[in-house]
Amino acid sequence: MPNYAKFLKEILSNKRRLEEYATVALTEESSAILQNKLPPKLQDPGSFSIPCQIGTTIIGKALCDLGASVSLLPLSVCQKLDIRELKPTTISLQLADRSIKFPIGILENVPLKVGSLFIPVDFVVLEMEEDINIPIILGRPFLATAGAIIDVKNGKMTLRVGEEEIEFNLGKAMKAMDDKDSCLRVDLIDTLVGAEFKKSHPKDSLEHFAW
């Protein structure tokens, strides 16, 4: 115990100092900084697209968008597919430019063929101008269902369903996306209630008290 007490006393009195030739182990991160081994910064690859098929309709480029919380299908494309009736919905979509759009309905469990894989997708059908080059948008729910593993640096994406998987070399498929085409959030109640309130109360309630 006396030796331990002396040890504590030396620490508290700051007498136990680092040895002149002591070796200090640094973390991997600190070593990388000192040795200038940090990876080079790369440019934003943007979003990317993959080929797929719905029924007999082949879609050359379907935009995979991690910024979209839903998968979107233009009404014009939906009509071409000639598939079952839409399920009514009360959700509203707030786009990146803060504009609000109300979907026509939802198509549930649409079998989307990607390579040899069939992946069920719930599409939100929206009356919007069809992009000839990229007619549909596949959001996070699709990517999660498909077990997507995205290697941004090497431009590769792997989809895995059960024991089967398919790999895409995105490369040229990567495409910067215009913000106004991005669906960043889906508001289930608040926006819809606000819109209905404006319809039934066109004037601000405070105006009724103006003299």
Statement: residue 203 has pLDDT above 70:
no
Judged against a pLDDT cut of 70, whether residue 189 lies above it is answered with: no
For 32-69, the pLDDT digits (tens) are 555 556 666 666 655 678 899 998 888 888 888 887 88
**End-to-end distance of the chain based on CA atoms, in angstroms?**
88
Instruction: Decide: residue 202, CB within 10 A, 0-12 exposed, 13-18 middle, 19+ buried.
Output: exposed
Q: Give the homologous superfamily in CATH for domain 49-200.
A: Acid Proteases (2.40.70.10)
Q: Is the dihedral of CA 98, 109, 137, 169 positive or negative?
A: positive
Q: For the segment 80-123, what is each residue's pLDDT rounded down to a tens digit?
A: 887 768 888 888 887 777 778 888 889 988 999 999 899 999 99
What's the pLDDT score for residue 187? 42
CA distance 211 to 206: 11
Pick the more confident residue, 162 or 194.
Answer: 162
pLDDT tens digits along 140-174: 899 999 999 988 878 888 999 888 989 988 765 54
Pairing of strands 105-114, 174-175: unpaired
